[in-house]
Structure formats: structure tokens, C-alpha cells
């Protein structure tokens, strides 16, 4: 105890005791601010023409945002990039703004119904501030 107290005093004299705590607090605060941010998104369901407006949490996927708000999207694999049932169609401007789909997503998209040039799997798109106001069209499945 005596040794520990001396070590603490020595560190305090060198100004070390508070620096790590302050750094942690700033990182935690910044992370919390980021996690609390939301952006408005819209999902248009081609099956019934209904538009659903949601506030999507930044950092989640667009699929998670849809499911959080009871948007009727199948997502058979739960976002594991093993199906194409989370297929959505983007507006051209938004599609161009995002990173292009990787090869694995392209392969899965080839299995999707109603494929368009701006199709994406929404489990592969992260919600970010640049998606503010974006609309995602859920295509109609001709087999249903």
C-alpha cells in the first residue's frame, strides 16, 4: 500500500494520472455522439406502393435500419451475404456516391429478381450521413 501510494504520488507529480482518463473520456464521448446520430431514409415497397420513412442509426446497415422499423424485407440469411432477398434499388446519384459492390455481393445480386443497374444488397450498405434522405426501392418478386 505504501509503495502504491508513493508510485501514485510520483505519477501525479509527473502529471500522468489524469491524461489517460481524459483521453478515454474524449474517445468515449466522440463514439457516443456518432452512435446516437440518425439519418432519415425511405423504403418504397413496390408490392403495395407504400413508402415507409425511418430514422436510421448511423453505423448500422440499411437492412438493420429497415428491420428495426418493421419494413417488410425478407433478409433470409440475416445479413450474411448468403442470399439476395435484401435486394433494393437505389437512385443513380446515391449508387454513384457509394463504394461499388464487391465481387461477392455482385455474385449474390446475380441471383436477385428485378435486377437493375443500381441494385444493391442493403445488408452491405452502412448507414452514414451521406445517406441522408435516401430512398431504397424494394422490388416486386414476380413469384409471389
Give the binding site for ligand FES (CB under 6 A): 63, 75-77, 79, 81-86, 108, 121, 123
70, 71, 74, 75 alpha-carbon torsion, rounded to 10°: -80
Measured distance CA(94)–CA(44) in Å, rounded: 15
What's the closest the beta carbon of residue 96 comes to ligand FES, in angstroms?
21
Checking phi first, is residue 81 left (phi over 0); if not, alpha (psi -120 to 50) or beta? left
Query: Closest approach of Cβ 21 to ligand FES, in Å?
Result: 41
Q: How far is the CB of 83 from ligand FES (least distance, A)?
A: 4
Amino acid at each position: 500500500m505504501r509503495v502504491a501510494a508513493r508510485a501514485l504520488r510520483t505519477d501525479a507529480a509527473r502529471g500522468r494520472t489524469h491524461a489517460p482518463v481524459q483521453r478515454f473520456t474524449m474517445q468515449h464521448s466522440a463514439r457516443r455522439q456518432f452512435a446516437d446520430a440518425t439519418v432519415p431514409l425511405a423504403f418504397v415497397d413496390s408490392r403495395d406502393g407504400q413508402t415507409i420513412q425511418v430514422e436510421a442509426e448511423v453505423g448500422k446497415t440499411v437492412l438493420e435500419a429497415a428491420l428495426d422499423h418493421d419494413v417488410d424485407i425478407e433478409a433470409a440469411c440475416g445479413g450474411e451475404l448468403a442470399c439476395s432477398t435484401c435486394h433494393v434499388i437505389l437512385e443513380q446519384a446515391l449508387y454513384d456516391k457509394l463504394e461499388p459492390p464487391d465481387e461477392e455481393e455482385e455474385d449474390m445480386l446475380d441471383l436477385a429478381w428485378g435486377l437493375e443497374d443500381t441494385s444493391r444488397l442493403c445488408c452491405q450498405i452502412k448507414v452514414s450521413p451521406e445517406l441522408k434522405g435516401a430512398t431504397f426501392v424494394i422490388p416486386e418478386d414476380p413469384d409471389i
